[in-house]
Structure formats: C-alpha cells, structure tokens
Structure 1
C-alpha cells in the first residue's frame, strides 16, 4: 500500500497560516515550528497543532515521510511560535512504543488532525484505536523546554 500524500492545497494554506501568525494573530491552538533545513540550514517553518499529554507537549506528523518531520529530527531543536510569542524547544522523537498513548490522545484532542487523517485514508473513523495502530508510521515528537 502506498503512503498517502498531502493534498495540493496544504502548502498554500500553511503559508496563509504562517502569515497570520507573523501578524501576531494567534490561530486557535496552532503554532509554527521553525527549524534549520537539513540540507540548506535555512530556517524552515511549518504550522502544527501541538497538544498536551500528561504535562508534556507533543505533535504528530500528519503524513508519513513529511519533510518538516525529517528537518525536525535532524535539527533536534527549534522555535515554537504562537502569535508574537516564541520559545525555544528541544525536539525529541518518540519510539513507536512510546508514541502509542500519544496517538490515542491525538485522536481526542486534535480534531483537525483527525480530519486530515480521515481524508488521506490513514484512518476510517478516527478512533483512538485506529491512531494507536499508526505507531511506527506517523512520527510523534515531544517538545521539551530548551
């Protein structure tokens, strides 16, 4: 089975989200993660929806093999921005086993991410069990204070 790919409208929508954030306007729970690119070292930014799980801050890559996740993995640290507020973070990738409870929580706390996963065919109903089964396919990161 081939992995799903992001819809064509996602990159333009991400650019709009980042522009709104640069204006200092928070967009709900969304934040922008900026890390150096793994090839060029130039800053690369992507919007995401981090969420709390047992006191930690986590995010899930919505598509297997996403470039932003590869950049975050290579960088190991970056900046999370919401509106005009930024903070440096260490980026820790979780093992598939560690990611299981986080993926279950994602299903409950990030409805926009559940919608993406349903539309892309990663899940059918968006249940916690379906997301837990994606451990090892979707990258899960924890953001620790730098």
Structure 2
C-alpha cells in the first residue's frame, strides 16, 4: 500500500493558521511547533493539535514521512506556541509499541485529526483499532519540559 500524500491545500491552510496564531488569536486546540530545519537550520513552523494522554502531551503526524516530523526528530527540541504564549519543549519520539496506546486515545481526543486521516485514506472509520494499527507508520511524539 502506498502512503497517501498531503493535499495541495494543506500548506496554504497551515500558513493561514500560523498567521492567525501570530496575531495572538488561539485557533481552537491548535498549536504551532517551531523547530530548526534539519538541513538549513531555518526555523520551521507547523500547526498541530497536541492532546493530553496519561499525564503527557502528545502529537501524531498526519502523514507517514511528514517533513515536520523529520525536522522534529532531528532537532529533539523546539517551541510550542498558542496565541501569544509559547514554551520550550523537548521532543521525544515514541517507538511503535509505546505509540500504540497513544494512537488508541487519539480518535477520542482529536476529532479534527480523525477527519483528516479519513480524508487521506489512512483509516476508514476512525476507530481506536485503526489508529493503533498505524503504530510504526505514523510518527508519534511526546512534548516534555526542556532538559536542563
């Protein structure tokens, strides 16, 4: 099975979301993650919807091989912003086994992400079982406080 590609409207929509965030207006549950580009070092900004699970803050890549996930993996740290508030975070990628329960929790916590995954063809119904089956295919990250 070939992995789906991001839709053409995604980058313009992400730019709009970031512009609204820069104005200091929170956009629902969305945050903006900023990490240095893995090749250029230029700050890269990506809107995302992290969610709480078992006392931690997590996010799931919308597509296998997403560029922002590669940058986050390489950087290991970044800034998470919402409106005018931002905080530094350590970015920890979970292995497939560790990601399974987080992915099971995802559909109940991030409905917009479920709709996105359905449209992209990653899941059919958006059930916890379908998301759990994506472990090892979709990157799952935990945001921790910065390391001292």
Report the TM range for the smaller structure's normalisation.
over 0.9
Q: Distance in 2 between matches of 1:137 and 1:28?
A: 27
| Unmatched runs of 5 consecutive residues or more in structure 1 | none
Q: Alignment partner of 1:7: what SS?
A: coil
Q: Distance in 1 between matches of 2:24 and 2:90?
A: 23
Match of 2:87 in 1: 87
Pair 1:71 & 2:59 matched? no
Q: Please, what is the CA RMSD of the aligned residues?
A: 0.4
Match of 1:58 in 2: 58
String of CA shifts for 1:21-50, please: whole Å, max 9, x gaps. 000000011000000000000000000000
Q: CA deviation at 1:107?
A: 1.1
Q: Alignment partner of 2:105: what SS?
A: helix
Q: Alignment partner of 1:19: what SS?
A: helix
TM-score, normalised on structure 2?
Answer: 0.98
Q: Distance in 2 between matches of 1:7 and 1:131?
A: 20
TM-score, normalised on structure 1?
Answer: 0.99
**How many residue pairs get matched?**
146
Q: Which runs of 4+ in 1 moved over 2 A?
A: none
